[in-house]
Amino acid sequence: MKHYLWLPFLIIFFFKTTTSFAESSYVLPYPPPMPGSFLYKIRLVSEKIQKYWYFGNFGQFSYSLKQSDKYLVEAKTLFEYRQYLLGTQALKKSDVYFSETKPYLIRARKEGKNISKNMSFIKDAGLKHIEVLDKLELQVPKTFVWKPEKSFPSTLDLKESIRRSILIRSKSL
Amino acid sequence: MKKILIGSYICLLLFVAFISYLFVDPNFFYLKNIYSGIAFKNRQIITFLYLLIILSFFIFYFLFLLLIHRKLINAKDIKLLVVLTAGVLFFAYPAMLSYDIFNYITTAKVLFHYHENPYIVMPIEFANDPYLLFTHAANKIALYGPFWILLSGIPFLLGFGNFLLILFNFKLVIVLFYYGVSYFIWKISKNIFSVVLFSLNPLVVVEALVASHNDIAMMFFTISSFFFLIRKKVGLAVIFFILSIFIKYVTIILIPVFIYTFWQTIRKKTVDWEKAFYYSSLLMLIAFFLSPIREEIYPWYAIWFLPFVGLVHQSKTLLYIALAFSFGLLLRYVPFMLLGTHFGVTPFFKTALTFIPVFFVLIYVFFKDKLWLKIFSRS
């Protein structure tokens, strides 16, 4: 019997390694209006207006993180519907917004603001993003050839772009 | 007799200003040298003193109204009383009954010091900010309208970073708005009874001059907007009315009355201002009753309808109800002051004390006006 004492530990170990990617209690928003819908145009206009409403370094930080979250959820939804070109574009936007978050906090720190809470917020967000991206990476093909109707086809390096997104988030951890 | 009365009233004001400092919060380190904790350690005594103050205020209030009725005091005396009331209570500690003034200051700090949008960023996000030690509701984004936040920049910036100076700058701004409302009530009514009815109402005195609630600023822009409309200055009237909405949003409920009076004015038709103010007071009373939807009925919300009640004091029922509310709402502080908790029986007693005076007034009106006869004769 004592030879099998290690068995529960092994089960726990495998269970843990196979089901957890990166886990975070951070909550992502609902999928926003998708490209092609009329509401998507309104969303883009509101995004531009909100850029000014969220003034201040903390405000800009919140804005960038919010937009990064939204575009990540958009990318995830589009990938799931195999809209790889639009998905890749959304993911790039999410990356840009995510990489803008930290510089705003650094500027806020220079202004004498305490940024510790927001730094941990970035980490939580980064973990959650990586969790989503990890799962997404398993679902998408390595590459995808996009054939537009009146233009030359182009190859989308899906896994590579997801890995790049993960790398951007990893820097925040 | 008159001099004795005014002298005693000044003594009461000085006593209130003194008592207010017994309520200095232990976390309010700017006044740590005068912190006594008396108000928190001797709840029964402080409740008794508070009740004594409220009752004294009401006795003086009714005496002044009686003297006006008997033409024993004139406009000059009333002017002196209004100036003195605000002048003395300007020095009172504002967070005696409510901490809202700290919230105004902290919100102003978010915008004018940290340069962040107070509608997005909460004061609590600025960890280690010293104001957080005594600011309540720091975990909320700005609750007030954008015009109030902009206005609050004046006292904040003129404080040059000195908290006590900022605090008294805010008190000064509120005092000026109080004078403004009193002035426009006088200009509209040309009746000192109306002025006293509002300006020396104990609830107005306590909530506007001691606690420095910004509701008085909102009502300044509303009353002045109606004044400009009476004077046919429609442009100014519209601007001031919009500004009043952007202080605390509540006056949005007056839009029907404002549009009606505005329309009549530009068509050069006569406006029944008595009726307009009567409906305004009713609408503000409705807003007052709707306030529990958001949080609860706070005593200073009575400032929303009291200026209009002052302008239509001929409507006796409305006047009695307003006065009963003024008394009941000030009693609302008693359960917490005595028990030191917001839970248990406190909410029940708060509600009971608010409405019992109104209930008695309604019974009085019911029998005095023989309403029961009218009701039964209809059936």
- Report how far residue B273's alpha carbon sits from residue B289's, in angstroms, rounded to the nearest whole number: 24
Domain-located, residue A17: no
Question: 């006056």: which residue's tokens?
Answer: B251
Rg (C-alpha) for chain A, rounded Å, is 19
Task: Give mean pLDDT, residues A60-85.
Answer: 96
Smallest CA–CA separation between A49 and chain B, in Å? 14
- Report how far residue B29's alpha carbon sits from residue B132's, in angstroms, rounded to the nearest whole number: 11
Q: Does any CB of chain B come closer than 8 Å to the CB of residue A109?
A: no
- Report how far residue A11's alpha carbon sits from residue B354's, in angstroms, rounded to the nearest whole number: 65
Structure tokens at B232: 């046919």
Structure tokens at B18: 């003194």
pLDDT(A5) > 60: no
Q: Would you list the domain boundaries of chain B?
A: 2-378
For B220-234, how does the pLDDT look when each residue is reduced to its tens digit (9 = 90+)? Answer: 999 999 999 999 999
Centre a 10 Å sphere on the Cβ of residue B25 and count the other Cβ atoms it contains: 18
Where is A60: in which H helix or E strand? helix A57-80
- Report how far residue B251's alpha carbon sits from residue B222's, in angstroms, rounded to the nearest whole number: 7
ipTM for the whole complex: 0.84
Question: Which of A49, A52, A58 is the best substitution to test chain B (most B C-beta atoms within 10 A)?
Answer: A58
Q: What is the pLDDT along chain B (379 residues), one digit of tens a residue?
A: 789 999 999 999 999 999 999 999 999 999 999 988 888 999 999 999 999 999 999 999 999 999 999 999 999 999 999 999 999 999 999 999 999 999 999 999 999 999 999 999 999 999 889 999 999 989 999 999 999 999 999 999 999 999 999 999 999 999 999 999 999 999 999 999 999 999 999 999 999 999 999 999 999 999 999 999 999 999 999 999 999 999 999 999 999 999 999 999 999 999 999 999 999 999 999 999 999 988 889 999 999 999 999 999 778 889 999 999 999 999 999 999 999 999 999 999 999 999 999 999 999 988 887 666 665 565 4
Interface contact flag, A53 B117, Cβ < 8 Å: yes
The pLDDT assigned to B378 comes to 52
The pLDDT assigned to B369 comes to 72
Smallest CA–CA separation between B159 and chain A, in Å? 20
Kindly give the pairing relationship between strand A144-146 and strand A154-156: antiparallel
Whole-angstrom CA distances from B302 to A135, B207, B339 are 57, 9, 24
Smallest CA–CA separation between A113 and chain B, in Å? 6
Domain-located, residue A20: no
Domain-located, residue A38: yes
Structure tokens at A153: 């086809």
Interface contact flag, B120 A113, Cβ < 8 Å: no
Centre a 10 Å sphere on the Cβ of residue A44 and count the other Cβ atoms it contains: 11
Range of the domain at A138: 26-170
Q: How many domains does chain A have?
A: 1
Where is A162: in which H helix or E strand? helix A158-170
Domain-located, residue A88: yes
Q: What DSSP assignment string belongs to A74-135?
A: HHHHHHHTT-HHHHHHHHHHHHHHHHHHHHHHHHHHHTT---HHHHHHHHHHHHHHHHHHHH
Domain-located, residue A141: yes
- The answer to whether B127 and A114 are in contact (CB under 8 A) is yes
- Choose among A62, A116, A117: nearest Cβ to B120: A62
Q: How many CA atoms lie within 13 A of B82 on its CB side?
A: 26
Q: Does any CB of chain B come closer than 8 Å to the CB of residue A110?
A: no
Q: Residues of chain B whose C-beta is under 8 A from some C-beta in A?
A: 114-117, 119-121, 125-128
- The answer to whether B311 and B194 are in contact (CB under 8 A) is yes
Where is A156: in which H helix or E strand? strand A154-156
Of B32, B36, B37, B38, the closest CA to residue B164 belongs to B32
Interface contact flag, A113 B115, Cβ < 8 Å: no
Domain-located, residue A6: no
Interface contact flag, B128 A114, Cβ < 8 Å: yes
- Report how far residue B29's alpha carbon sits from residue B41's, in angstroms, rounded to the nearest whole number: 18
